[in-house]
Amino acid sequence: MRGLRVSSIVVGLALMLGACHPGPSSVDGRRIAEANQHPGDWVSYGRTYDEQRFSPLTQIDDGNVGRLGLAWFADLDTNRGQEATPLEIGGVIYTTTAWSKVEAYDATTGRQIWSYDPKVPGDWGVKACCDVVNRGLAMWKGKLYVGALDGRLIALDAKTGRPVWITRTFGQDTSYASTGAPRVVKGRVIIGTGGAEYNQRGFVSAYDAETGRLDWRFYTVPGDPSKPDRQPSDQPLRDIAAKTWAPGTWKVGGGGTVWDTIVYDPKLDLLYFGTDNGDPWNQRYRGVRGDNLFLTSIIAVRPETGKYVWHYQLNPGDEWDYSAVQPIILADLKIGGRTRQVLMQAPKNGFFYVLDRKTGELLSAKNYVTVNWAKGIDLKTGRPIETPEARYSDTGKPWVGVPGPLGGHSWNPMAYSPKTGLVYLPANEAGFPYQEDPAFKHEPLGENLGLDLSGGGKDPDYAAQKAQLASLKGYLLAWDPVAQKAVWRADHPGPANGGVVVTAGNVVFEGSYDGKFAAWRADTGKPLWSFDAQAPIMAAPMTYQVGAVQYVAVMTCGGGAFGLSAGLPGLKSGHPHQLCRLLAFDLGGQAKLPPLPAASRPPLNPPPATATAEVVHQGAELYGRYCGICHGGSAVSAGVTPDLRYTPLLASDGFFDVVLGGALRSQGMVSFSRVLTHDQAAAVRAYLIQRANDTKAAQAKGEDLSAG
């Protein structure tokens, strides 16, 4: 179904003027670098190479944004997470959806022009830690580039959506996954991978934009020393990184994947990317203590060769999933009386970093959210001043870290306004209990963290989980990167909120996980407007202009790591009828979303809980390792994937047909027979039965926070 609100006069004017706009064939490095000469288009993921997500458009401003209304909407054919920022070139919107599908729409009406489905195998979903999402496209000389979840890099004709070429970025016998938007620089399509928890080794690759031929590859952690990579990355790995790892850790991958955040600086001709956590998280299982380069680092290389230039490591020897894959913004700031070319990042660890982007020199770093793992960052050494208790693998004691792996800020894009001098970022306050798993061993399926994820298995009242849920919060933060301090913040009902765009009209737009799409004054944070989108918003908005009309567009739907694993009640992610859409707004828009179907659940009628406490606890540990990432912590689903407390399979042997036999493989539920015995699967079922009975009893009392 499509919602439409455009008069025939506006349509005619838009098409006439849109035809004069440079089309997809004009998009190259110069066009991206000179994006401000065509302010109405959004030609790159972050609009420009510097990833500032700042639009010069002013038709919608802080004085009239209250008149913003829905212009049109397009329903998507999925209820999985949406993280893409659409592109708009020449009056056409291009975007990706879950499962790496690509769509093209008329930017003034929402009419679908074409769609492309790469038909990613459903069972690849088990290899994606954080949902089957995709964060967007790259455009170059008439072609669109998308990284499919299963590792295919696909070039599409922008006019027709038909494939021009397809290449494999990794082997099909691996557990990598591709969710990030490619970047095109100097005729090379540059893309990384995910999979740091799945026994994989991180790398970034560059492919010829015309042919798909591999040009170069930069590995981020050392590999088998007897098989040198013979790439430009081999020398820094051999000379710098190898000595910071224990011998032999390459056999289990190492981690350090690059699943997002690839940024190019045409002024300095440098390509920057951030790297992920180690494999496993717990450093004890990566061998002797060391920095483990290049984990959790920002790396600068030459885009034509991949030759190493510099690196800065945020968390030496990381064991908290404090990755550095979060968005990077480039800007020129006046610091200490002189203009500096800087790189800015608000990574998971809670500190806002400002680096000299030519040299990697640390200029400043202050915490932008509450942190308890470090007292600060030493500006002389660039190293964090860790609190001893944070090293849970050293102390052997459980520790609640703030931030947790959700991060003070995750992948959700932030924005910078050169008019206000502020960075606008979606911030989180969310702790996490880190506890070593003494019986850990690497497995070929599921995440390898080295942590005890039994959750509520030791606590029949689930008090710890309830307290953790109650402590979660999030907000839109306006941050002064020169003074390193907060200027204003707007609180949200929960964490993991949407990405951000800011405009010259002094307006900041952001969505939130409770389904609100809203606008604030960029300078003061005054609320200006909001819209009920009927679904969580994780993706970043963008804005474009066709003819005389400026639009703001955003993708809706919950999911991702938080949406799959957190299971927060009371948020629209728990609505069983989550509808994913692309929404577009303009001044005076009159389109309406249809009402949501009534929320309903099947009756909770589990079989009796008869297993021993020991078996239930074993099931909780196994569930935490293999199931919780998709079906929710403590067996509370957010509604994107099935809530296993409600499944009728708990009362039949059909449970084993699915878990061990792979009966639902085509839907993403692969067989776990490689890692679970029948008795272990039975323990998982016993845990789910116990959780279902506990939930049913709590519902009867009206007091369960984890009832979903």
Considering the domain architecture, whether residues 588 and 656 belong to the same structural domain is answered as no
Residue 381 lies in a domain: no
Going from the C-alpha of 617 to that of each of 290, 332, 399, 589, the distances in angstroms are 34, 54, 20, 54
Of 418, 406, 312, give the one whose Cα is nearest residue 350. 406
Considering the domain architecture, whether residues 592 and 681 belong to the same structural domain is answered as no
Output phi, psi for 260, to 5 deg: -165, -175
The pLDDT assigned to 549 comes to 98
pLDDT of 131 strictly over 90? no
The pLDDT assigned to 224 comes to 87
Selected catalytic residue, list 50, 62, 321, 704: 321
pLDDT of 662 strictly over 50? yes
Longest dimension (CA), the chain: 72
Residue 116 lies in a domain: yes
Is there a catalytic annotation at residue 321? yes
Helix (H, G, I), strand (E, B) or coil at 262: strand
Containing H/E element for 699? helix 678-701
Considering the domain architecture, whether residues 5 and 83 belong to the same structural domain is answered as yes
Going from the C-alpha of 465 to that of each of 268, 459, 510, 638, 698, the distances in angstroms are 48, 9, 28, 15, 14
Average pLDDT, the chain: 89
Tokens at residue 300, please? Answer: 């600068």
**CA 553, 556, 558: angle at the middle one, nearest 5?**
155
Residue 220 lies in a domain: no
Q: Which of 598, 625, 657 is the last residue of a domain?
A: 598
pLDDT band of 377, cuts 50, 70, 90: very high
pLDDT of 570 strictly over 50? no
pLDDT band of 460, cuts 50, 70, 90: very low
Q: Which of 541, 565, 598 is the last residue of a domain?
A: 598
Tokens at residue 102, please? Answer: 């690509």
User: Cα separation of 313 and 51, whole Å?
Assistant: 21
pLDDT band of 704, cuts 50, 70, 90: low
The pLDDT assigned to 21 comes to 63
The pLDDT assigned to 610 comes to 93
The pLDDT assigned to 82 comes to 95
Residue 559 lies in a domain: yes
The pLDDT assigned to 467 comes to 54
Average pLDDT on 103-114 reads 98
The pLDDT assigned to 340 comes to 98
CA 74 to chain centre: 23
Residue 570 lies in a domain: yes
Give the range among 385-389, 461-465, 647-651, 698-702 with minimum mean pLDDT. Answer: 461-465
Length of the chain, please? 708
Residue 677 sits in a domain whose CATH number is 1.10.760.10
**In this structure, are residues 412 and 513 in contact, taking their beta carbons and an 8 Å threshold?**
no
Considering the domain architecture, whether residues 622 and 590 belong to the same structural domain is answered as no
- 100 compared with 578, residue with greater pLDDT: 100
The residue range of the domain holding 669 is: 613-701
Residue 6 lies in a domain: yes
pLDDT band of 13, cuts 50, 70, 90: very low
The pLDDT assigned to 573 comes to 40
Tokens at residue 267, please? Answer: 């002024």
Q: What is the pLDDT of residues 294-307, one digit of tens each?
A: 999 999 999 999 99
Please enumerate, as own/partner, the contacts of 171-175 that have beta carbons within 8 Å and a separation of 24 or more: 174/200, 175/127, 175/199, 175/200, 175/444
Give the range among 444-453, 506-515, 590-599 with minimum mean pLDDT. Answer: 444-453
Residue 620 lies in a domain: yes
pTM of the model: 0.91
Instruction: Give 27-96 as a 3 state SS string.
Output: CCHHHHHCHHHCCCCECCCCCCCCCCCEECCCCCCCCCHHHEEEEEEEECCCCCCCCCCCEEECCEEEEE
Residue 555 lies in a domain: yes
User: Cα separation of 86 and 93, whole Å?
Assistant: 6
- 95 compared with 227, residue with greater pLDDT: 95
- 105 compared with 3, residue with greater pLDDT: 105
Considering the domain architecture, whether residues 632 and 574 belong to the same structural domain is answered as no
pLDDT of 708 strictly over 50? no
How many domains are there within the chain?
2
pLDDT of 2 strictly over 90? no
Considering the domain architecture, whether residues 548 and 572 belong to the same structural domain is answered as yes
Considering the domain architecture, whether residues 619 and 502 belong to the same structural domain is answered as no
Of 409, 392, 432, 249, give the one whose Cα is nearest residue 344. 409
pLDDT of 571 strictly over 70? no
Give the range among 88-102, 337-351, 666-680 with minimum mean pLDDT. Answer: 666-680
Containing H/E element for 296? none
User: Cα separation of 410 and 497, whole Å?
Assistant: 10
Of 136, 125, 112, 121, give the one whose Cα is nearest residue 44. 136
Average pLDDT on 347-366 reads 98
- 36 compared with 639, residue with greater pLDDT: 36
Considering the domain architecture, whether residues 123 and 2 belong to the same structural domain is answered as yes
Q: What is the pLDDT of residues 153-186, one digit of tens each?
A: 999 999 999 999 999 999 988 889 999 999 999 9
Of 64, 94, 93, 91, give the one whose Cα is nearest residue 548. 91
Considering the domain architecture, whether residues 549 and 518 belong to the same structural domain is answered as yes
Average pLDDT on 619-631 reads 85
Considering the domain architecture, whether residues 625 and 588 belong to the same structural domain is answered as no
Average pLDDT on 42-50 reads 97
The pLDDT assigned to 462 comes to 42
Q: Which of 570, 598, 626 is the last residue of a domain?
A: 598
The pLDDT assigned to 473 comes to 87
pLDDT of 96 strictly over 70? yes
The pLDDT assigned to 16 comes to 39
The pLDDT assigned to 17 comes to 41
Average pLDDT on 429-456 reads 82
**In this structure, are residues 45 and 85 in contact, taking their beta carbons and an 8 Å threshold?**
yes
User: Cα separation of 21 and 91, whole Å?
Assistant: 8
Average pLDDT on 433-442 reads 88
User: Cα separation of 133 and 408, whole Å?
Assistant: 21
Considering the domain architecture, whether residues 96 and 119 belong to the same structural domain is answered as yes
Considering the domain architecture, whether residues 590 and 618 belong to the same structural domain is answered as no
